[in-house]
Each structure stands twice: as C-alpha cells, then as structure tokens.
Chain A
Amino acid sequence: MQLLINALIGGSFAALLAGGLTLVYGVLRVFNISHGQLALVGGYTTWWLHQVAHVPLVPSILGGVLTAAFVTWICFEVAIAPFYRRHPFLPLVSTIAFSIILDAFFPLLFGESTKSIVNSSGGTMAIGDALITYHQLILIAFTLVLLACTGLILFATPFGRRVRASVQQPEAARSLGIASGRLHRIVFISSGVLAGLAGIYMGIDQNISPAFSFPLTIRAYAAVIAGGKDNLWGTVLAAYIISLLEQMAVGLPWWFGSYIPAGYQGSVALVVVMVVLLFLPNGLFTPRSRTA
C-alpha cells in the first residue's frame, strides 16, 4: 500500500513535469533540454519568496509560477524562436546551452545546498498501514485537477482545437489561418508553467537542489517517450507507471530477498527510456497508424 501511495506521489510530480513537455513536442516538434531547469526556477523562486522574503505560501507559489513563465518566455525567444524553423534539431543544442546558463545561476543565487519550501510536512494521515502527509494529499489532488483542466482546455475549447489541429496537421492548420507563432509561444510558456508547478511540488514534498535539473529533464522525457511523444494522456499514464516501477525497484525484495540499492532508483526511468526506444520507438500508447 505504501508503495502505491509513493508511486501516486512520484507519478503526480512526473505527470506535471512531463505534461507540458509533450504539448511542446506535439506542437513545435522540438525537444527542450532545459525543462528541468525551468522546474527549478519555479521551485527556487517560491522557496526564496517564502523562506527568505517571508511572503505567505500561496502568493509565493504564484510568484514562482509567474517567474517560471517569464523565464520560459525568455527561453523561447532566445533558444527556440531563432532556430526551430531553420532545423528541427537546432533547439536541442540551443536549449542545452540555455539549460547550462540556468544551471550556473542556481548555485550563484541560492547556494549548493538543498532547499525545502515548507518547514513541516503538515501532519500525516494513515490509509491502512500506509502513511501520507496532508501536503502530499493536496499536491496529488491539485495535480489531478490541473491535468483535468488541461484536458478540458485541449478537448473542449476553441483554443484546444487549434492546438490539436496544429499537432495533427500543422500545414493544414496554418493554411486555415491559425497563427502558429502566437500558438507556439502560448504552448511553450504553458509547458514552463507546468514545469514551474512541478518544481514547487518537489520543493514542498521533498527538497530542491541544482543537481536535480538534468535528471528531472530526463525523467520527464522518459514519460514523454514511453507515452508516445505527443500523446498527453499516454504521457500522464506513463509517468505513473514509471513511478510505480521506481518504487517497486527499490521497495520490493528481488533475488534471494535482497534489495536494489536506493541509489539506483533514479536510473529506473532511464532504463525505461532505453527499453522503450529500443523495442517500441513510438511509445507504449501510440495508436497503430492506418496504412493504405
């Protein structure tokens, strides 16, 4: 039971992180390697506002989200917009450069040590023989509501129809007058907002450190690749499955009752990426395309 709850906590975080990324890949067809750093921007700003400037938690979270959105917009203008129409692979290199620049700022501004946004876990409740904190419950509920809202926007609004049209038939969408430049900016900044929220989630549930940035990006890509790259619900489902595998890898006895060292927990997502790319390059949940 505790494994399932831990998987739900970790999966909600990964779904938040990967949800925005899959939208970006779907609409812009670019990989953004600085996604983990954008998550840390949200986390660190919220930490600074709440713990250093002593702003109440909710306005601090709002500040963190707005800063993440602003830095994501800068990322788009500096590392995506000048490149992605020239060659789809240029942003892969330019966002690596942007991610390194952000990585340099975190220790300079906030130090190397780990930071936690809240000082206490807010109390715990028992579900059977498993424990969960109230903060974690709120975070899981918030993530599920947010993902449902994202789904609602995508599948029940004119804006969502434009986004889906751009994903499915980009040329046809442009020819029907959908302003792709503005749409791309909105989708990219939305992905940064979701990343910022994921960073805040991590800072409240555990802690944040500059060393987490690249592993976060790769963890998000694990879910995106396993879920089928531009498939939002596939990505969300894959995030929960990977999280469950991570918990099972270190939480269950394997051969002769021995456990895998906890240091390998983060590698589970990486192994999932490798296995999926090798055997199912289109992901776990990609519908089989029709052929003539």
Chain B
Amino acid sequence: MDYILHVIIIIASTLCNALGINLVFGKGKIFHFGSVAVSIAATYPMYLVVEATGSYMYGITAGLVGALLLSLFIALLALRLAPDGLGVLTIALHLTLLSVVATWISVTHGAGGITNVPRMFGLESIESFAVVSCVIAVVWFIIIFLIDRSPYGRKLEALAEQEWYASALGIRRATIYIVAFSLAAVGALLSNLISEQYFRLVHPSNFQYVFFIFYIAIIVAGKPGSVIGVTISTIALTILRESLRFLPLPITALGPLRLLLFGLILLIAVWWRRDTLFPVKRSV
C-alpha cells in the first residue's frame, strides 16, 4: 500500500511541473530547455528560507519570487532570441545554476544538499501526504485545463503557429509569453514543494539534465500541447519509471537503464510525432 501511495505522490509532483512545461514547450512551441533551472530557482530559496526561519509561508514566497524572476528573465530571452539560440542558452543557464548550487557550499550545502527538510503541519504520514499531493495536482490540472481552453490558450497556440498574423490581430507576444512562463514557474514550485518535502531532501542530483529529458519525453509522448494527453503520459511514464526498480538488476545499472529507456521513448515519440511536433505553418 505504501508503495502505491509513493507512486501517487511522485505522479502528483511530476504532473504539476509537466503541465507547466507543456504550456510553454508543448503548446507555445517555445524552446525553453531550462525548466529544471526554474526548479532550482524555486527549490533552493524555498527550502533555505524554511531551514532558516522554519516557516513555509516565507519559504514558499521566496521560492515563488526566485522562480518568477528567472522565468521572467527567460521569457524576455525568448522574445529576443532565435529558437535554437534560446534552447542552447537555457541549457547553459541550467548548467550554470547547477554549478552554483554545487560550488557555493556555504549557502547551498553543496553536494551534501539540504537534509532533514521538515514537512508541513499534518503531513507526517504518507497517507495524508498522498491526499494533499493529489488535491494540489488535481486543482492545478483544472486550472491549466481551463487556461488551455480559454482565449489565452488559443492566443498562445496562434502565436506558435502564425506569429506575424497573430501579432497583426492584436495578440501581444510579450504578455502571452510572460503569463505562460509564470504559470510554468508556479508548476515548478508546486512540484518541488511536494517532492523535496516528501523525500525530506534537497539535493543537486535531483536537478540533473536527465530530469529535463524525462519531462520532454512525457510531453512529446503525450502529444505536445494536450493537457489530457500529457496527464496520461505522466501517469504511464512515472509508473514505468518507478516499476523499473523491481527488475532484478544491480543498483548501478538501474540509473543508466532508466536513461536508455527514456532516451528510446523520446526518440520513438519524436519520430511518431515528427509531423505535428513543430507543425509546418498552415497556408491559406
């Protein structure tokens, strides 16, 4: 039973971030490869403040400020750079932040990470943690679903497909991008609020590049831009990832096999969706 609850918590955590990334990368077709960098910007300020003050209210505020500031910066870059340049720059941003948290030991605790992360009041048992995580994920799903179906969602899609025509019709690219990136930042915050608190640990290894690959595999496999598709693929791929631990393999082989599996899934998913991932612009 505990294992099922564990998987539910991981799915809830992953879904919050995946839905945000889907809005930017999947629906907006914006080459934002720095989603894990946003997670770093949300997680470290949040838990460092929690460690210093013991208050989650201050911690969440700090995490939100960190994530929003970085997201705003990336949104401004997205407005200025060519898509491939943005992709490389956001990867560089991610690796830079990762080297900062690994090297700035006096503040971030370096490779040791932040240990003994306290849980919020009432979340000590795994049952209560699973219920609260599910409630957060479901509420976030409903919010993103409604946004996706709203005029805002259509504007984001219009910008992705026909940027010039959309702009000519009065859709402001800057506003749409800033909102999309801000929503993705909130998703990253919620995701890390659940996962790091659940594991009681903030560690640089939780922000490696492979986590970004996992999210991209989820979005490409689930159909980029589709809230329901990405939700289903999050559930399926998280169960697949978590069930790999039952294979009779040495622990050192488990990590590389996960990489191999998700690399293959991503490659097959890109091939399968090669005509719709970055659709050729429709002509009249």
- In whole angstroms, what is the CA distance A33 to B277 when docked? 18
Beta-carbon contact of A277 and B85 below 8 Å: yes
Residues of A within 8 A of B77 (CB): 277-278
From A33, A97, A277, B81 is in contact (CB under 8 Å) with A277
For residue B90, give the distance in angstroms from its CB to the closest CB of chain A.
10
Residues of B within 8 A of A98 (CB): 263, 267
**Most chain A CB neighbours (cut-off 10 Å) among B83, B91, B262:** B91
Please report whether the interface of chain A is mostly helix, strand, loop or mixed according to DSSP: helix
A87 within 8 A of B: yes
B170 within 8 A of A: no
Given contacts A94-B270, A221-B88, contact A89 B103 (CB under 8 A): no
A40 within 8 A of B: no
Across the interface, name the chain B residue whose C-beta is closest to A111. Answer: B252
B149 within 8 A of A: no
From A90, A93, A270, B95 is in contact (CB under 8 Å) with A270
Residues of A within 8 A of B230 (CB): none
- In whole angstroms, what is the CA distance A104 to B210 when docked? 10
A214 within 8 A of B: yes
- Interface residue ranges of A216-270 to B (CB < 8 Å): 218, 221-222, 225, 261, 263-264, 266-267, 270
Residues of A within 8 A of B262 (CB): 100
A144 within 8 A of B: no
- Interface residue ranges of B239-281 to A (CB < 8 Å): 252-253, 255-260, 262-264, 266-267, 270-271, 274-275, 277-278, 280
B89 within 8 A of A: yes
- Interface residue ranges of B82-96 to A (CB < 8 Å): 82-85, 87-89, 91-93, 95-96
Given contacts A31-B87, A92-B31, A107-B255, contact A101 B274 (CB under 8 A): no
B99 within 8 A of A: yes
Given contacts A97-B270, A101-B263, contact A263 B102 (CB under 8 A): yes
For residue A250, give the distance in angstroms from its CB to the closest CB of chain B.
11
B10 within 8 A of A: no
Given contacts A87-B278, A89-B278, A96-B213, contact A270 B96 (CB under 8 A): yes
- Interface residue ranges of A1-43 to B (CB < 8 Å): 31, 33
From B82, B102, B103, B266, A281 is in contact (CB under 8 Å) with B82
Beta-carbon contact of A96 and B88 below 8 Å: no
Residues of A within 8 A of B75 (CB): none
Residues of A within 8 A of B84 (CB): 31, 88-89, 92
Beta-carbon contact of A100 and B256 below 8 Å: no
For residue B22, give the distance in angstroms from its CB to the closest CB of chain A.
14
For residue A215, give the distance in angstroms from its CB to the closest CB of chain B.
6
- In whole angstroms, what is the CA distance A83 to B210 when docked? 23
Beta-carbon contact of B274 and A104 below 8 Å: no
A112 within 8 A of B: yes
Residues of A within 8 A of B213 (CB): 96-97, 100
From A82, A270, A273, B271 is in contact (CB under 8 Å) with A82
- In whole angstroms, what is the CA distance A93 to B277 when docked? 10
B282 within 8 A of A: no
- In whole angstroms, what is the CA distance A221 to B88 when docked? 8
From A79, A93, A101, A218, B260 is in contact (CB under 8 Å) with A101
For residue A277, give the distance in angstroms from its CB to the closest CB of chain B.
5
For residue A238, give the distance in angstroms from its CB to the closest CB of chain B.
14
B58 within 8 A of A: no
B46 within 8 A of A: no
- Interface residue ranges of A89-127 to B (CB < 8 Å): 89-90, 92-94, 96-101, 103-108, 112
Beta-carbon contact of B267 and A274 below 8 Å: no
- In whole angstroms, what is the CA distance A96 to B219 when docked? 14
Q: Knowing that A101-B263, A214-B209, A221-B92 are A-B contacts, what are 6 other residue pairs whose CB atoms are under 8 Å apart, sorted by A's residue number? A: A100-B259, A107-B256, A214-B91, A214-B95, A281-B80, A281-B85
Binding site for B on A (CB under 8 A): 31, 33, 78-79, 82-83, 86-90, 92-94, 96-101, 103-108, 112, 214-215, 218, 221-222, 225, 261, 263-264, 266-267, 270-271, 273-274, 277-278, 281
Binding site for A on B (CB under 8 A): 31, 77, 80-85, 87-89, 91-93, 95-96, 99-100, 102-103, 209-210, 213, 216-217, 220, 252-253, 255-260, 262-264, 266-267, 270-271, 274-275, 277-278, 280
Nearest 8 pairs of A and B residues by beta carbon: A263-B103, A100-B263, A104-B259, A104-B260, A101-B263, A97-B266, A97-B267, A270-B92
